[in-house]
């Protein structure tokens, strides 16, 4: 938590002025009982109305000055706390963006969301209250005790006994509840995770009629969270009644000893009232301090959780090489895998084993294999979403670990399995690839991705508003826009990770034909479950259990790779075994050619 205080930098003035004005308010408040004692002993006892009016005006002045000081302190503390929270949230979000997929997979999305929202809000409240009350309340407590000794030493000894007892109660409960609040935030993480899963997978839950089971699971987790919160609340709730008992007991003893000393003529009635007022001030301030301690306990627990994320170091060590326009002049391969292996964090076995191949500039590579064979893992190593645990991955002859991360990813266009669009216009989404792209470049990318026709049909065209996640577009439309977004940046390496799964065969064929006609030195990786999508690739990799078990052209793999044969024959007519191309494939290509020629759109 201490390391987070750096985010108060720039608010040094506010962090000094806020407690300073609170101390001034407290100082004026400590004079109030003495003024009241003077009113009783001098004004009322002597029947001096003028003196009473004068002292009442002094009380009003003390009240007004205290109010102004309080408002000023509130302003500075709120300014410092909100600035602190804004800086911390910005730093945490920036840090999360720098983490590799390995760390994000390990920590979990729901945990990161909780840290960015609930935890930082709790820390902000803690900073705000600390600046306002952390010095004021102890100052009032000990100041009242000192003022009580100036009134009467024997009676003030009750203060010296009551305050240590109250301190034991307050700090004892604080130490008891601090670890419990960490458990509460952990339970909140699990509830958030479950909520996120249920909202994201609502369709699946309804399709399998699992509403009641998920509801029961949610109720179980929320009851667990509620139970923890109640338990901590009961412990924290002890603070107010225990402090009230101690302080009110001290007031009873004070009144008793005060009455005896007044009867003996040692004390005046005004002095007894002043002593009681000082004890009441201590009671009020200790209640405030108790609430402050509870808030601080939560803030410390949440601050430590935020700090733990900030202390997580990315496993990716960025290089400094930024690349040059002439780096392909030597004719080196566009992409090269040198005996690459990959083991995910916490996994017991390798996800990829000894993957070794190279791709020349301008070539298209198809990657196919069964579910879990490692297709996505292979292409994830190129933009360094993960780092290879063995071997090297080279882009344009240079190890990807030598590249500056931004420079590397500017060379690579990635279209992930799940088509993700963001709220805004189509043009806004496409310009993620290149913020300076002209409308002509956008339309060119849309034409290659087979998205031009449906965009033209939109009344707003490129200014059509896309809902969050692209919910107002079909799956095929979303996929084609994500392909166009990657094409806008004109990458050296284009990765299509099963990004045409929602397209019909004709549109898929037209897309592949358009990609082939782009020309240039772009290396294209096509990850697909369809053999029709990769059959015309220059090179096809067949993966099984993370290993490359076949490599070559479509025809050579049909002759030599049993796994490729199995996948291919499961998708097309068995008469392909006799060497004749399956009718289904012929029809698909013909239909795709007609669609591309006539400009018809199949969604």
pLDDT band at 593 (very low <50, low <70, confident <90, very high): very low
Q: How many residues does the chain have?
A: 603
pLDDT at residue 482 is higher than 70: yes
Within the chain, all domains assigned CATH 3.40.50.300 are found at 335-411+491-598, 421-490
pLDDT at residue 245 is higher than 50: yes
d(CA 491, CA 420): 19
CB 85 within 8 A of CB 123: yes
CB 524 within 8 A of CB 515: yes
d(CA 28, CA 72): 15
Q: What CATH architecture does domain 421-490 belong to?
A: 3-Layer(aba) Sandwich (3.40)
CB 21 within 8 A of CB 76: yes
Rounded mean pLDDT of 356-360?
91
Q: Phi, psi (5° rounding) for residue 514?
A: -65, -40
Q: What's the mean pLDDT when you consider all of the chain?
A: 84
d(CA 297, CA 285): 18
| H or E element, residue 240 | helix 239-263
Q: Is the model more confident about 220 or about 151?
A: 220
Which residues touch 153 (CB under 8 Å, ≥6 apart)? none
CB 421 within 8 A of CB 470: yes
**Least confident residue range of 280-284, 322-326, 491-495:** 322-326
Superfamily name and number for 2-310: ABC transporter type 1, transmembrane domain (1.20.1560.10)
Residue 330 DSSP symbol: T
Q: Is the model more confident about 483 or about 600?
A: 483
Q: Is 427 exposed, middle or buried (0-12, 13-18, 19+ CB in 10 A)?
A: middle
CATH of 335-411+491-598, one of 2.40.160.10, 3.90.245.10, 2.10.60.10, 3.40.50.300: 3.40.50.300
Rounded mean pLDDT of 106-118?
85
pLDDT at residue 590 is higher than 60: no
What integer pLDDT is reported at residue 585 of this predicted model?
40
Give the global pTM: 0.70
d(CA 219, CA 129): 34
CB 419 within 8 A of CB 482: yes
Token pair for residue 323?
């690349």
Over the stretch 405-430, which tens digit does the pLDDT of each residue have? 888 888 899 998 888 889 899 999 99
| Sign of the alpha-carbon dihedral angle for 111, 112, 114, 120 | positive
d(CA 205, CA 371): 23
| Sign of the alpha-carbon dihedral angle for 160, 164, 167, 169 | negative
What integer pLDDT is reported at residue 80 of this predicted model?
94
Token pair for residue 51?
């003196």
pLDDT at residue 378 is higher than 90: yes
Over the stretch 427-481, which tens digit does the pLDDT of each residue have? 999 998 888 889 999 999 999 999 988 899 888 889 999 988 888 888 888 989 9
């Amino acid at each position: 938590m201490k390391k987070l205080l750096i985010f108060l930098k720039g608010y040094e003035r506010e962090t000094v002025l806020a407690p300073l004005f609170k101390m001034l308010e407290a100082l004026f408040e400590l004079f109030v009982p003495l003024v009241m004692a003077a009113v009783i002993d001098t004004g009322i006892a002597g029947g001096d109305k003028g003196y009473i009016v004068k002292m009442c005006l002094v009380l009003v002045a003390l009240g007004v000055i205290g109010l102004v000081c309080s408002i000023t302190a509130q302003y500075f503390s709120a300014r410092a706390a909100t600035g602190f929270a804004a800086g911390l949230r910005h730093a945490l979000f920036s840090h999360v963006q720098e983490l590799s997929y390995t760390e994000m997979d390990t920590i979990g999305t729901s945990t990161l969301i909780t840290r960015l929202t609930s935890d930082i809000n709790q820390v902000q409240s803690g900073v705000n209250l600390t600046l306002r009350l952390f010095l004021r309340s102890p100052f009032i407590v000990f100041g009242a005790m000192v003022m009580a000794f100036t009134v009467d030493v024997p009676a003030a000894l009750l203060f010296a006994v009551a305050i240590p007892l109250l301190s034991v109660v307050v700090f004892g409960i604080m130490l008891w509840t601090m670890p419990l609040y960490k458990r509460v935030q952990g339970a909140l993480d699990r509830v958030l995770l479950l909520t996120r899963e249920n909202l994201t997978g609502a369709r699946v839950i309804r399709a399998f009629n699992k509403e009641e089971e998920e509801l029961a699971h949610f109720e179980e987790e929320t009851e667990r969270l509620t139970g923890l919160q109640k338990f901590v609340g009961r412990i924290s709730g002890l603070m107010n009644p225990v402090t009230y008992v101690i302080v009110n007991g001290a007031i009873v003893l004070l009144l008793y000893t005060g009455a005896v000393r007044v009867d003996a003529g040692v004390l005046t009635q005004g002095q007894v009232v002043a002593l009681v007022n000082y004890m009441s001030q201590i009671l009020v301030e200790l209640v405030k301090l108790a609430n402050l301690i509870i808030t601080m306990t939560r803030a410390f627990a949440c601050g430590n959780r935020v700090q733990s994320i900030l202390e997580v170091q990315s496993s990716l060590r960025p290089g400094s090489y930024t690349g040059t326009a002439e780096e392909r002049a030597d004719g080196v391969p566009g992409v090269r895998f040198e005996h690459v292996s990959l083991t995910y964090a916490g996994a017991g076995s390798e996800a990829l084993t000894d993957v070794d191949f190279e791709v020349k500039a301008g070539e298209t590579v198809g990657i196919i294999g069964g579910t879990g064979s490692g297709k996505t893992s292979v292409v994830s190593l190129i933009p360094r979403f993960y780092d290879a645990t063995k071997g090297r991955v080279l882009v344009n002859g240079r190890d990807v670990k030598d590249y500056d991360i931004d420079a590397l990813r500017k060379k690579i266009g990635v279209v992930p399995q799940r088509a993700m669009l963001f709220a805004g216009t189509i043009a806004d989404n496409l310009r993620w690839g290149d913020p300076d792209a002209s409308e002509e470049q956008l339309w060119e990318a849309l034409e290659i991705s087979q998205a031009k026709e449906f965009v033209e049909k939109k009344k707003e065209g490129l200014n059509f508003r896309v809902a969050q996640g692209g919910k107002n577009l079909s799956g095929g439309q979303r996929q084609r826009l994500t392909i166009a977004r990657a094409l806008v940046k004109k990458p050296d390496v284009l990765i299509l990770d099963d990004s045409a799964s929602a397209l019909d065969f004709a549109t898929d064929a037209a897309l592949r034909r358009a990609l082939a006609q782009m020309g240039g030195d772009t290396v294209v990786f096509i990850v697909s479950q369809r053999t029709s999508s990769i059959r015309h690739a220059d090179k096809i990799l067949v993966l099984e259990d993370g290993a490359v078990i076949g490599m070559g052209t479509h025809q050579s793999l049909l002759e030599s790779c049993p796994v490729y044969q199995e996948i291919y024959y499961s998708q097309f007519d068995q008469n392909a075994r006799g060497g004749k191309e399956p009718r289904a494939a012929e029809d698909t290509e013909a239909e795709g050619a007609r669609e591309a020629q006539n400009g018809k759109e199949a969604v």
